Amino acid sequence: MKATRGTAASAGAWEVKRVIRLPTLEDAADATRAREVLAALPGVLEVEPDLERRRLTVCYDSSRLDYRTLTSTLEGVGLAPAGGLLGRIRASLWQYADTNARENAKAPPPPCCNQPPK
């Protein structure tokens, strides 16, 4: 039940893997719907639903996509991530990490060590 776009090498250092708990993930139709909407997002490399544990493993390029976009897309099709204090802390941490990754990906390369900056 994998949906793959691209390869692991295509994202390089910005590739992240997130396990999203979805209490509303109940059957194969939900899993298919989640896989299709996430695979359509630019930057998603792999989506793997786990119906037994009601979770979704998503591998994506954090320089092109962030956690908030993933969750809002899932909420748009009726599959809201687990709430609660731990869920909110986890979501905030992942969003913070993705924002930092996106900013670092856009940073200019550092100057060579034997040349002073201009």
By the 10 Å C-beta count (0-12 exposed, 13-18 middle, 19+ buried), 66 is classed as: buried
Res. 112: pLDDT tops 90 = no
Architecture per CATH, 3-105: 2-Layer Sandwich (3.30)
How much is the pLDDT for 105? 84
* pLDDT (0 to 100) of residue 11: 60
For the chain, what are the domain ranges?
3-105
Provide mean pLDDT across the span 23-46. 93
Distance CA(118)–CA(116), nearest Å, equals 7
